[in-house]
Structure 1
Amino acid sequence: MSGAVQTSAPTRATSGGLLEGLGIPEAEQNAYLRVLASARCTEAGLAVELGITADRAERLLTALAHRGLVTRHDGVPVRWSAAAPDVAVEALLLRREEELLRTRGRVGELMRAYRQAQQPQTADLMEVVTGQAAIAERWRQMQDGARRHLMLFDKPPHISPTDTELERSLLARSVRIRAVYEAGSVSAPGRLAEIREVVAAGEEARLLPQLPCKLAIVDDRWAMLPVATGSELQAAVLVRASSLLDALTGMFEAYWHRAVGVPDAGGPTLGAGSRRGELLTLLSAGFTDDSIARQLGVSPRTVQRWVHEVMEDLGARTRFQAGIQAARAGLL
């Protein structure tokens, strides 16, 4: 037949899908592969090959020409030839990649629209507070609203000094305050003495080597924790009454029961020296020799000697074992 594709073109069963990743419809793919398999073809010849009308063949060829995959050669009849795939398909790939990059750049815009739509459903449960001043102010408001209990995980970073006067006012209102301090949070000189002051006023304080996050829980109404870990606290999540708040409360209780108490200045002793109980507590809380030395105002060498003596007295082979045995013996 005049103008038909004079070659063994791929069948329809094997032609589809090769250019699907470029978003090209299967009908255009089939047409392109048949033009690709011939030097030149006509609209009428392509229509016969594909079993479609000549008008349909012309529309497919025009669409392929718009994509840069085929070239039109005017004449009688009009003929079409395929562009070299290494050039034409590569150009389509680059264009597709640019479109995908632009779409990726708009994900943030889409997420803003999504959050706005979801906000009515979540605003009553969670709120993100940004900026250290705003976080400090919201924390003060939470403390002012406390009625029954306040539970804290105290670990760096800190955005403001401890307001001992506010804490004393809470204790005066019969608000129970429980705080678990991470070792790194009380290692600064004088910090343990500050904690003892609020303990003397009524706070219940304990120590642990590490805590999972900063956390503050007020009654069964609010909790606040950082959005992300890091050296600076720039955003916090305020959680209202929900199953998430219940889970955070359960986490606090689990860590509270694992922690060791903050020793009094003249706490329990072990044989000799009024600081033995304090030494054992700091050991159990994970303090290093240097940190213990700073807290007790002695040299690291003295701490090492005391630790060795304590381990011998308790029959412990490790520092951790010494802390466990001291706890079992009621020395902490």
Structure 2
Amino acid sequence: MDARRQAVPGMGMLAGLGLGPLEEQLYLRLLGLPAAEPQWLASQLNLRASIVVAALAVLAELGLVESCAAGAWTAVPPDVALEELLLRREVELRRARGRIGELMRTYRQGRPDDGAAGPVEVISGRRSIADLWRTLQLGVRERLRVLDRPPYVRRSDPQTGLALLGRGVTTRVVYHSRVLRDPERLAEIRTFTAAGEQARVHTEVPLKLALLDDRWALLPVSAGTELESVLLIRPSTLLDALAGLFELYWAHAMRLPEPSEEPPEDRHRQLLTLLAAGLTDESIARQLGVSTRTVQRWVREVMDRFGARTRFQAGIQAARADLL
């Protein structure tokens, strides 16, 4: 077998620091050795010595190896070398991010008659929309806010959303209450809430909307065109208005009901949430896994508890009691 293709523990872990496969393999080999000469390393990797010498020079430039006696090379301890390299890369990334505005100005100047890259850009085509959404998700640093309403589109790559939560991105989603009638969709949402997503439901969600940090917003051009044509909104008064719209609906939305098998007090809270979401007795019964007659009895208990003559009055009293 070609030594260049042999598996080395940890291979690929340093690609994000700018190391090529050969440089990484050399460094990982040297980590397990006191020192080694280029000729010996070349024989182990079935490469010319000149190629290994060139790769060692790259590693030395990055501060990962250093020469020692008799022309041999040794690895610099990773806790020192990699930390310094990480800091250097972070500085470079911050500088690159700081130039985005300048690069965007150059981009716009090259397209004086093109609306692209302005505050509002139209993106068309399923593939282009999917690629854009994935890129935006990967670029989120702090928070993701979403208004979600029918027609529902199944997450094509749920791992990307779970990865956002895994790296600490605050995710808040307001779902249309109709989602409570879709067991498959609801099960998917519970997977995300278990991973840290904050979810609420509202009876009236006006549009689909995704806000990524305070840098982008994504929404369909019109209802029913989610997979065909979307608007990409960049920082502008429109983006600010959309952020305000989300916060308004978030403030008036209700917590996503938890699964059943709760004690009576929590059962009433869950029942009130489902009632306020506009579900019928039959839908609530399916959601809670009980009979319709049981739901009707619980509704009567709640109404009696608050001295209400209608469900609406019970909801008002529940809200005043901070049960919703």
User: What TM-score bracket applies, with the shorter chain setting the length?
Assistant: 0.5 to 0.7
Q: Is 1:314 matched up with 2:306?
A: yes
Q: How many residues in Structure 1 have an aligned counterpart in Structure 2?
A: 214
Q: Which contiguous aligned blocks of 4+ residues in structure 1 show a shift greater than 4 angstroms?
A: 266-271
Q: What residue is the counterpart of 2:177 in the other structure?
A: 183
Q: Deviations over 1:87-142 (max 9, x none)?
A: xxxxxxxxxxxxxxxxxxxxxxxxxxxxxx97545632111122333323322221
Cα distance in 2, alignment partners of residues 233 and 247 from structure 1: 24
Question: What secondary structure sits across from 2:181 in the alignment?
Answer: coil
Tell me if the contact between 1:259 and 1:285 (Cα under 8 Å) persists in the aligned partners: no
**Higher Cα Rg, which structure:** 1
Q: Is 1:169 matched up with 2:181?
A: no
Tell me if the contact between 2:115 and 2:121 (Cα under 8 Å) persists in the aligned partners: no
For 2:267, the aligned partner's letter is: R
Tell me if the contact between 1:179 and 1:205 (Cα under 8 Å) persists in the aligned partners: yes
Matches within 5 A, 1:85-124: 119-120=113-114, 123-124=117-118
Cα distance in 1, alignment partners of residues 213 and 112 from structure 2: 27
Q: Is 1:282 matched up with 2:282?
A: no
Q: Deviations over 1:183-228 (max 9, x none)?
A: 1233212433432332222111111111010110000111111111
Q: What residue is the counterpart of 1:153 in the other structure?
A: 147
Aligned CA RMSD, in angstroms, stands at: 2.5
Match of 1:217 among 188, 202, 211: 211
Q: Is 1:235 matched up with 2:229?
A: yes
Are the structure 2 counterparts of residues 310 and 220 from structure 1 closer, same or farther at C-alpha, using a change threshold of 3 Å?
same
For 2:143, the aligned partner's letter is: H
Q: Deviations over 1:240-289 (max 9, x none)?
A: 11110000000000110001111333687545xx6332211111222232
Cα distance in 2, alignment partners of residues 310 and 118 from structure 1: 63
For 2:117, the aligned partner's letter is: A
Stretches of structure 1 that go unaligned for 5 or more consecutive residues are 1-116
Cα distance in 2, alignment partners of residues 152 and 267 from structure 1: 29
Instruction: Give % identity.
Output: 52
Tell me if the contact between 2:142 and 2:169 (Cα under 8 Å) persists in the aligned partners: yes
Stretches of structure 2 that go unaligned for 5 or more consecutive residues are 1-110
Tell me if the contact between 1:179 and 1:203 (Cα under 8 Å) persists in the aligned partners: yes
Are the structure 2 counterparts of residues 177 and 212 from structure 1 closer, same or farther at C-alpha, using a change threshold of 3 Å?
same
Q: What residue is the counterpart of 1:132 in the other structure?
A: 126
Cα distance in 2, alignment partners of residues 315 and 225 from structure 1: 43
Are the structure 2 counterparts of residues 294 and 129 from structure 1 closer, same or farther at C-alpha, using a change threshold of 3 Å?
farther
Q: What residue is the counterpart of 2:291 in the other structure?
A: 299
Question: What secondary structure sits across from 1:244 in the alignment?
Answer: helix
Tell me if the contact between 2:181 and 2:283 (Cα under 8 Å) persists in the aligned partners: yes
